[in-house]
Amino acid sequence: MIKIGIVGGTGYTGVELLRILATHPEAQLTAITSRKEDGLPVADMYPSLRGRVDVAFSSPDKARLTECDVVFFATPHGVAMAQAPELLAAGVKVIDLAADFRLQDVAEFEKWYGMPHSCTAVLQEAVYGLPELHREAIKTARVIGNPGCYPTTMQLGFYPLLKAGIVDAANLIADCKSGVSGAGRKAEIGILFSETSDSFKAYGVSGHRHTPETVEQLQRMTTDKVGLVFTPHLVPMIRGMHSTLYARLTKEISNEALQALFVDAYKDEPFVDVMPFGSHPETRSTRASNMLRLALHRPGNGNTVVVLVVQDNLVKGSSGQAVQCMNLMFGLDEATGLNHVPVMP
């Protein structure tokens, strides 16, 4: 059994980790931290976990995290890098769901997250936790920087096109939408029900912190200079993410060959579903699952390819992907504990 600690177990990504790990056959939940909820049984805060999780929250100073095999950080940015060195020295592996170990460019991290990076030595060995693209490196990693939710959709959507060298890498466009849970479990006016229901808006149009993360990773897929216009939107639903990606073709290719690029790239991937050409994947087809679905379109058979990508922002976009990485790090079948069928309706 893998002894697991979770730092920050009261937010949406934290409870999603608990939901997934509660039925994981190789997981032993050992410590769940929360300063405010010290001593409170987890199931008292989340009745959905009654009969599944029998541990209580403990303050960070009481939690015996160094006795765990792996610690997940479901915390704000900056927390993981402050605690990672001590855990690594004790032989504990670290999976951070925040941004501390996503960006290798320290200057970019400090620019977008507004804080100094205090753990650059650990950052240098951190592996970006997108299994479909970095599986072998994840298997031997001690530190994982779990990808952002939007970046997951953009990278898996653009990857086959960039790898094949058939699109203009300098002019990629991503028009993305996310449910309100992507903003986290907090009390803010902008994410209250009466503020978001029956409404729709873009945000971060002049610059979003997921842009440098995505560009850094896309650049690894091609020798051409990558340029990305990324516009996120908030939609009035709880969970779910839909990214509409646009790329201009630079080489002649048939629709059948385009489809084949994606089918070949993901044919062995347990959590990427390449749907038939011209399909329209829906967010509800991935709800509460670790599945990402995508489909290709080519309006008017012209030189623009459109990739539609959907996922659950809290599962494949965060906690599920983190567990997928954990499975690889500990030599388990990658899909262990993650074969949940999407919830319908």
Which percentage of the chain shows pLDDT scores above 70? 100
Identify the sign of the CA torsion 20, 49, 32, 30.
negative
Q: Is the pLDDT of residue 334 over 90?
A: yes
Please give the average per-residue pLDDT across 257-280, as a whole number: 98
Residues ≥6 apart with Cβ < 8 Å to 194? none
Closest CA to 166 of 45, 27, 260: 260
pLDDT at 318: 98
pLDDT at 120: 96
Domain ranges of the chain: 2-125, 149-313
pLDDT at 212: 97
Tokens of 23: 């039925």
CATH of 2-125, one of 3.40.50.2000, 3.40.640.10, 3.40.50.12780, 3.40.50.720: 3.40.50.720
137-164 pLDDT per residue, tens: 999 999 999 999 999 999 999 999 999 9
Please give the CATH number for the structural domain made up of 149-313.
Answer: 3.30.360.10
The per-residue DSSP string of 16-72 comes to HHHHHHTT-TTEEEEEEE-STTTT-BHHHH-GGGTTT---BEE-TTT--GGGSSEEE
Active site residues: 149
283-332 pLDDT per residue, tens: 999 999 999 999 999 999 999 999 999 999 999 999 999 999 999 999 99
The pTM for the full model equals 0.96
From CA 79, how far away is CA 95, in angstroms rounded?
12
**What is the average pLDDT score of the chain?**
96
